[in-house]
């Protein structure tokens, strides 16, 4: 353990020198578990430390390269851990934020974005509707007022798509995962594990 801490410290010292000359501190790296499950999104510094310590291998790089006196390393964009990390599967909870994220902050009746939004129970609670992924949608206040305490059918409204629990392995936060899916370099590694 002490040796590991010491080697981490050395790696840190090397990087401190290298980093000052670089402009890409903010680059992010996708970390895959040994079985290729997306595990985390970290910064380049942390990812390169994993590579130097032999804890991970590079899966994908971009065109940038680290240069120092003794090191020239292609910049990783995806790394894979050399050991399988066992982590309990977290629950993806139904929250206002996760419903808004799933629905891309757009009203699920009229499609409006950048307007005042609220949560709508598709089937109202007092008519037996549950507070769950398949009965909650993001809704603009205008549509919400129009719909009132009625089902879409009763109100003569229809949903743009059927609400459902996202297909998703929530090691990475849902918001982060959806943002990361938009990165074309990561898409192939992320999309098998969730489509939002």
**Residues of the shown chain interacting with Zn ion in the complex, contacts defined by CB under 5 A:** 107, 109-110, 112, 140, 143
Name the residue among 157, 164, 178, 160 with its Cα closest to residue 132.
164
Comparison of 95 and 113: residue with beta carbon closer to Zn ion: 113
Q: What is the smallest separation between the CB atom of 66 and Zn ion, expressed in angstroms?
A: 49
Minimum CB separation of residue 131 from Zn ion in Å reads 20
* Complex with Zn ion: residue 111 or 192, whichever CB lies closer: 111
Cα torsion through 83, 188, 102, 37, rounded to 10: -10
Name the residue nearer to Zn ion (CB basis): 14 or 123.
123
Q: What angle do CA 139, 113, 144 make, to 5 degrees?
A: 20
Q: How far is the CB of 115 from Zn ion (least distance, A)?
A: 7
Q: How far apart are CB 75 and Zn ion at their closest, in Å?
A: 43
81-107 as b/e: b if 16+ CB within 10 A: beeeeeeeeeebebeeebbbbbbeebb
For the CB of residue 179, give the shortest distance to Zn ion in the complex, in Å: 24
Which is closer to Zn ion, CB of 137 or CB of 172?
137
Tokens of 76: 């990783």
Which is nearer to Zn ion, 91 or 158 (by Cβ)?
Answer: 158
* Of residues 64 and 150, the one with the C-beta less far from Zn ion: 150
Question: To the nearest whole angstrom, how small is the minimum distance from the Cβ of residue 146 to Zn ion?
Answer: 8
* Paired tokens of 13: 């010292």
How far apart are the C-alpha atoms of 34 and 59, rounded to whole Å? Answer: 11
């Amino acid at each position: 353990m002490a040796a590991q801490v010491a080697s981490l410290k050395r790696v840190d010292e090397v990087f401190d020198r290298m980093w000052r000359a670089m402009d890409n501190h903010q680059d992010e790296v996708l970390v895959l578990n040994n079985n290729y499950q997306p595990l985390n999104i970290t910064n380049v510094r942390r990812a390169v430390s994993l590579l130097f310590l032999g804890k991970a291998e590079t899966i994908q790089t971009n065109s940038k390269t680290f240069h120092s006196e003794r090191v020239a390393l292609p910049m990783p964009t995806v790394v894979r851990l050399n050991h399988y990390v066992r982590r309990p599967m977290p629950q993806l909870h139904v929250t206002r934020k996760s419903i808004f994220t799933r629905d891309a902050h757009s009203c699920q009746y009229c499609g409006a974005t950048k307007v005042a939004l609220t949560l709508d129970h598709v089937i109202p609670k007092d008519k037996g509707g549950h507070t769950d992924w398949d009965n909650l949608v993001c809704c603009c206040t205008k549509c919400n007022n129009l719909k009132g305490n009625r089902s879409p059918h009763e109100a003569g409204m229809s949903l743009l798509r059927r609400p459902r629990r996202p297909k998703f392995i929530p090691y990475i936060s849902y918001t982060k995962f959806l943002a990361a899916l938009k990165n074309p370099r990561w898409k192939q590694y992320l999309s098998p594990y969730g489509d939002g």
